[in-house]
Chain A
Amino acid sequence: MHNFDFVKPSTIADAAQALSHEGAQALSGGQTLIPTMKQRLAAPATLVSLTAIPEMQGVCLGDGGLHIGAATPHAVVAREAKAHYPALAALAGGIGDPAVRNRGTIGGSLANNDPAACYPSAVLASGATVVTNTRKIAADDYFQGLFSTALHDGEIITSIVFPIPEKAAYVKFDQPASRFALTGVFVAKYAGGVRVAVTGASQDGVFRWKDAEAALSADFSPAAIKGLAMESGTMIHDLHGTQAYRANLVKVLTGRAVAAALA
């Protein structure tokens, strides 16, 4: 790994200042960034750790739903969101392994936007708001394809606000070596309708399955999606699964997520 300067500010303003310099890169839990740097796929001149900023930590109820500080580790979300949004807590408790969950953070996952990461599906299915140091970004505007987001250079996710659904569930089909989602589906039922977000399946990253949303908004039951077919043309094809396999998984897992949400 190439060497770099390490800084650890204690306020968002100081972090933003540090990130405004050429070659600066934010570091949250580092569970993806550090392996990436070891491969020399990233070589920042300065790493700005975001883990010592108190206002970016923790889980609490507030305006618009459940507020989660962007530097909150998965293990803390798994524990502290459980009473308020159990499906989200369960998702957090299934990421990686226990040691990874003690370091990896929700903000880091969202800033990276890995196409097989779990959190993007929860954010998109919940219609959550990604709050940064300069603005609020709706989930529907935030995710812009593989490893791409609406974030500007140096912009810092400070928290995420999740509207709490009436019912919800996340079902993940693990890729057992990486523990990322081979495909994962998050279903969330709100008074205004159902949202279905799929991760791990599409070449364009996390996406909403709108046909399923319409069917489930009319009838929230696994049977409601029986007649639907997921288009396979944009699915990921790799040694773990073909496009048709993933398209089928999306439908199967959506049905299972609805059943789990109703249980």
Chain B
Amino acid sequence: MTKVSMTVNGRAVSAEAEGRTLLVNYLREGLGLTGTHVGCDTSQCGACVVHVDGQAVKSCTVFAQDVAGADVRTIEGMANADGSLSTLQQAFQDHHGLQCGYCTPGMVMSSAALLAENPKPTEAEVRYHLEGNICRCTGYHNIVKAVLAASGQDVTKIAAE
């Protein structure tokens, strides 16, 4: 075991990790940040997406020791400072962009990464960007709608499905 330190959601943290400890396990078991989910554990589903130095990554497919010292952001760090939902999170609620909620942390983190680099994406760009995030409830339609709404675009003409 090695003590691994990094910054998570703006806070300096450290916890013990083996070589094989995945970032997602470091976050969930080492730090108790269980908002990041393990869906498939094979880097297909995207439920475990977090940001490492501003880049979206699948935390089930990164070793904690490989990102020692990095600046990590998880779903727990997405709300506003006063605890209210961020614009993107609120849009997921307003547009029913979730049902069971299992994929939602990853959807929010991937969408936030998209909006950081492309503040007004087209519907096609949103769908392309979310290819690595799988949702078995919503059929994606309302997730895409939520991301478009969060980017400030008018979604009233997009029918609910």
B129 within 8 A of A: yes
Within 8 A of B (CB), among A194-213: none
Name which of B51-59, B97-105, B152-160 contacts chain A. Answer: B51-59
Contact assessment for A98 and B43 in the assembled complex, using a CB-CB cutoff below 8 Å = no
Contact with A along B28-45 (1 / 0, CB 8 A): 000000000000011110
Contact assessment for A2 and B20 in the assembled complex, using a CB-CB cutoff below 8 Å = yes
B18 within 8 A of A: yes
How many pairs, one residue from A and one from B, have CB atoms within 8 Å of each other in the complex? 74
Contact assessment for B129 and A98 in the assembled complex, using a CB-CB cutoff below 8 Å = yes
CB distance from A60 to the nearest CB of B (A): 21
Chain B residues positioned under 8 Å from A30 (CB to CB) = 61-63, 66
Within 8 A of B (CB), among A77-96: 96
Contact assessment for B66 and A100 in the assembled complex, using a CB-CB cutoff below 8 Å = no
Contact assessment for B43 and A6 in the assembled complex, using a CB-CB cutoff below 8 Å = no
Chain B minimum-CB-distance residue to A76? B55
Given A4-B20, A31-B43, A38-B41, residue A100 in contact with residue B63 (CB < 8 A):
no
- Interface residues of B: mostly helix, strand, loop or mixed? mixed
Q: How many B residues touch A, CB cutoff 8 Å? A: 28
Q: How many A residues touch B, CB cutoff 8 Å? A: 27
Q: Cα distance A102–B66 when bound, in Å?
A: 14
Chain B minimum-CB-distance residue to A75? B55
Given A34-B43, A179-B131, residue A99 in contact with residue B19 (CB < 8 A):
no
Chain B minimum-CB-distance residue to A51? B66
CB distance from B6 to the nearest CB of A (A): 14
Within 8 A of B (CB), among A160-208: 177, 179
B142 within 8 A of A: no
A64 within 8 A of B: no
Q: Cα distance A47–B63 when bound, in Å?
A: 10
Contact assessment for A99 and B66 in the assembled complex, using a CB-CB cutoff below 8 Å = no
Contact assessment for B57 and A99 in the assembled complex, using a CB-CB cutoff below 8 Å = yes
Contact assessment for B66 and A8 in the assembled complex, using a CB-CB cutoff below 8 Å = yes
CB distance from A82 to the nearest CB of B (A): 14
Contact with B along A18-43 (1 / 0, CB 8 A): 00000000010011001101100000
A140 within 8 A of B: no
Chain A residues positioned under 8 Å from B63 (CB to CB) = 6, 27, 30, 34, 47, 49
Contact assessment for A102 and B131 in the assembled complex, using a CB-CB cutoff below 8 Å = no
A13 within 8 A of B: no
Which residues of B line the A interface, CB within 8 A? 2, 18-20, 22, 41-44, 46, 49, 52, 55-58, 61-63, 65-66, 110, 113-114, 129, 131-133
Pull 22 A–B residue pairs with CB atoms less than 8 Å apart, ordered by A: A2-B20, A3-B18, A3-B20, A4-B19, A6-B2, A6-B63, A8-B65, A27-B63, A27-B66, A34-B22, A35-B61, A38-B42, A47-B19, A51-B66, A96-B132, A97-B133, A98-B56, A99-B132, A100-B61, A103-B57, A103-B61, A179-B131
Which 6 pairs show the lowest CB-CB distances between chains A and B? A97-B132, A6-B19, A102-B55, A6-B65, A4-B19, A97-B131
